[in-house]
Structure 1
Amino acid sequence: MTSNPINGGLAGYSDRDRRRWAPEPAKRRDRTAFERDRARVLHSAALRRLAAKTQVASPGADAGADTVQSLRTRLTHSLECAQVGRELGKSLGCDPDLVETACLAHDIGHPPFGHNGEVALDAVARDCGGFEGNAQSLRVLTRLEPKSFAPDGPPLYGRSVGLNLTRAALDASMKYPWTQDEAVNGKFGIYDDDLDVAHWVREGVEPGRTCFEAQVMDWSDDVAYSVHDLEDALVAGHIDFARLADPAERRLVAATARKLYCTDADLAELEERFAELLAEPYWPDRYDGTPRSLAALKNLTSTLIGRFCMAAETATREAYGDRPLTRYAAELIVPRAQRLENALLKGITAHYVWISHEEVRARQRTLITELAEMTLAGAPETLEPGFRFAFEDADDDAGRLRAVIDQIASLTDLSAMARHRMLEARS
């Protein structure tokens, strides 16, 4: 299995997969289409802004300066997800640049304050189709991150096609390739405004089905998210290993995991899986910040990542053999045991960080709501130039509200707070 720069990458990808929504002239440099996709996402302003957006703890918030600097942001999470996805995808025969592009892009539309900001913006956006970080990611990639324009008008006034990624790259970036009307558990990945590009990406694909590369990205996200958020919560002092030795405490965590991540599992099954996972020899007895405990913690994270990825690779290979697995030729198979273990790790962070910090989270939601109200009341003057143009060009109130939502979603945690202070002072 070898790479072929002429046809755009590894075997299993067609000219159709490498096509871009807006045609582009041939490039001189000898790079594959998917290498170009990866470079476009990596160099985007939207990706850079993730450096100041919440993963577990808000950048610049509540811990000591050294601790905060070591905690992950949406950017470092995306980079780590990309590393996990690239290796897992490569082992299964995917083009590694394609999978890495999808992993880098998967959170690119997330707003300030992470999922908490999503909740607030979704309420604000109810009159224009709601807000969902995954749908916003598609919007950023295909409209909001300016790089290319469709050849239907002057460069400054024609339709932006965003980064103009290949069809395969956009498809691989879509976790939830359906609209709000078709939402599953509240999750969706396409706004009605963006149906045109979504239809182009998904042309000929069975509704609701995700491509193999998107499945690899999704599992890589879960792996990186569950393991690294646990590590950060330990470093920040939100979790104590000793508490997890108590069966009653584990039961509470298992109940949180079941409620949020795996409603198809019963509590007894989760408790049993939790006890078995914690009995593995690579779990440290404690974390106290010393070099030895830091090394033990790193060993824990790398071992857990290997456990989750090898389980998926082995199960998928047992089902499909050694052939390259790409696009719609296979489904990623993750054993139930590892899915439950993954949910339990996410449940630990949810139980000890999210739930116990609800007062802070409530203030963040209030800030986003007030920021949206003040921005809309003062628009278009309260909008940056790109979003101001969209506001003024909108045909109706829903379009104008969407421009305001796009503006706020683009902000970092710190710039959202600064903009709120500025607008509040003006009023």
Structure 2
Amino acid sequence: MTQINGYTEADQERWVPEPAKKSYRTAFARDRARVLHSSALRRLGAKTQVVSPTLNDFVRTRLTHSLEVAQVGRELGAALGCDPDIVDTACLAHDLGHPPFGHNGEKALNKLAKDIGGFEGNAQTLRLLTRLETKTFRHNGHSAGLNLSRAALDASCKYPWLREEAPLRNGKQTKKFGVYTDDQPVFDWLRSGPDSVPGRVCMEGQVMDLADDISYSVHDVEDAIVGGRFQLRWLLESSVRDRALQVTKDWYLPTTDESDIDAALTRLEASAEWVSHADGSRRARAALKDMTSQFIGRFCQAAMDATRSEFGQGNLTRYNAQLIVPEETEHEIAVMKGIAANFVMTKEELQPMYLNQRQILTDLVDLLSDNEDKYLEPIFAADYKDAANEQGRLRVVIDQVASLTDASALEWHASLVKGESYEPKLF
């Protein structure tokens, strides 16, 4: 087994042992390749990030977002001494479990799965990596998914706990969790080891999480501006600014004083890269790109400097360090997310669309559940037949619906539920 700086042989182990291979690639490079070539990753190209990919050719999809997160995470991780392939793998995998219609679809499926342990995109990611994708099989004939290394799977686990073990945050139990009860055996395996800390995300997972936050904080704002949703100069109007600050506080910084949030926005506005108005020209597009690039560098550099100051040089890996993000940087990232949320995700005119999306997924789950394995894809039909009880069969139906892209969910609904032919909109 190839020695990798900062990582043990146990970090490179796989749930199902595989024959040793003579290769120029490390175990972690193979992990990255397995995710990169997975069908689950390809499907993200037709899944909503913020705005549906059917509405605009420019906006980011879950796939392009994941590629951007991987670029940010890989470079930050390498600078901190993490193996870049582990971080890259975790970043590519972090959104695999998202269903059609983004977080709105996640809410719908969670409600439908309330009696079988709920639905959570991060837990679904672990399920995809260790069960639903196909690469290797266990001794009992069941799929072991992509059979990634322990370190790569651990890095992909953003919320390393079961739903009932979710910790308290701001005095409330978080709704986020990273593993379903019936996937606990592989979770226990990947979290085993003398250095693992219960409930703590490993260093590579922390880098992935920050890269995700940074990426969508700046890119959602860029997408919204290019899509004509708003201009940053609107924030100079007091009522608009107050509303954006309140959304930031309500959604991302509930325990932070609003004056500190306003100070974070003021710092960003004072930067040379801030684009108050973008008129759609090439020069304006270039200015927006420069703003997002500079802000990514700003946020990453602040975290790297603070982490190195605390833990020194060398390979900061697994559980020998923690990523330090300065409070001011956390506020700046959050305010960018709050701006996008204020102008895009809370728009009242979008609520009927969100309601319709949730109804589509509800109709599909109901119809598939009423027709046994009749309409399921072959791999899910096999899972349905192997399920031990009604709860297990419902989980298979949820797996099937979650695997659909936005367009295929609309197509299935039109043909199976409404008995109509699906005509995609062309723009």
Task: With the length of structure 1 as denominator, give the TM-score of the two structures.
Answer: 0.94
Deviation at 1:388, TM superposition (A): 0.9
Q: Deviations over 1:263-322 (max 9, x none)?
A: 121222212221222121211231111011011001100011001100000000110111
Corresponding residue number in structure 1 for 2:191: 202
Q: Please list the CA deviations of residues 295-351 of structure 1 after superposition, one character each: whole Å capped at 9, or x if unmatched.
A: 100110001100110000000011011121000000000001111111111111111
Q: Secondary structure of the equivalent of 2:198?
A: coil
Instruction: Tell me, in whole angstroms, the C-alpha distance in 2 between the residues paired with 1:21 and 1:342.
Output: 36
SS at match of 2:265: helix
Which of 119, 122, 130 pairs up with 2:110?
A: 122
What is the distance in 1 between the residues matched to 2:278 and 2:368? 44
Cα pair 1:132 1:187 within 8 Å, conserved: yes
Q: Secondary structure at the match of 1:423?
A: helix
2:26 matches 1:32? yes
Q: Which residue of 1 aligns with 2:267?
A: 276
1:397 corresponds to 2:418: no
- State the Cα distance separating 1:426 from its structure 2 match: 4.6
- Take 1:91 and 1:319, find their aligned partners in 2: how far apart are those partners? 15
SS at match of 2:192: coil
Which runs of no fewer than 5 residues in structure 2 stay unpaired? 168-173, 421-427
How many Å separate the matches in 1 of 2:217 and 2:3?
33
> Is 1:179 the counterpart of 2:162 in the alignment?
yes
- Structure 1 stretches of 5 or more lacking a match? 1-5, 62-67, 153-157
RMSD: 1.2
Q: Is this contact kept in 2: 1:8–1:18, CA < 8 A?
A: no
Q: Does 2:336 align with 1:345? A: yes
- Sequence identity of aligned pairs in percent? 53
Deviation at 1:39, TM superposition (A): 0.3
One-letter amino acid matched to 2:2: N
8 A Cα contact 2:231 2:276, kept in partner: no
Structure 2: distance between partners of 1:8 and 1:177: 27
Match of 2:177 in 1: 188
1:86 pairs with 2:80: no
Aligned to 2:368: 375
Q: Secondary structure at the match of 1:328?
A: coil
> 1:425 corresponds to which residue?
418
1:23 aligns to 2:17 (yes or no): yes
Matched pairs, number: 410
SS at match of 2:418: helix
Q: Secondary structure, in 3 states, of the residue corresponding to 1:13?
A: coil
Quote the residue 2:377 is aligned against.
384
Bigger Cα displacement from structure 2, 188-197 vs 379-388: 379-388
Equivalence map 1:204-219=2 (5 Å): 204=193, 205-219=196-210
Runs of 4 or more above 6 Å deviation: none
1:249-268 equivalences in 2 (<5 Å): 249-268=240-259
- The amino acid of 2:125's aligned partner reads S
1:57 aligns with 2:51: yes
Q: Which of 98, 103, 113 is the aligned partner of 2:91?
A: 103
> Which residue among 118, 126, 143 is the counterpart of 2:131?
143
Match of 1:248 in 2: 239
1:150–1:159 CA contact under 8 A, matched in 2: yes
Q: 1 CA distance for matches of 2:23 and 2:199?
A: 37
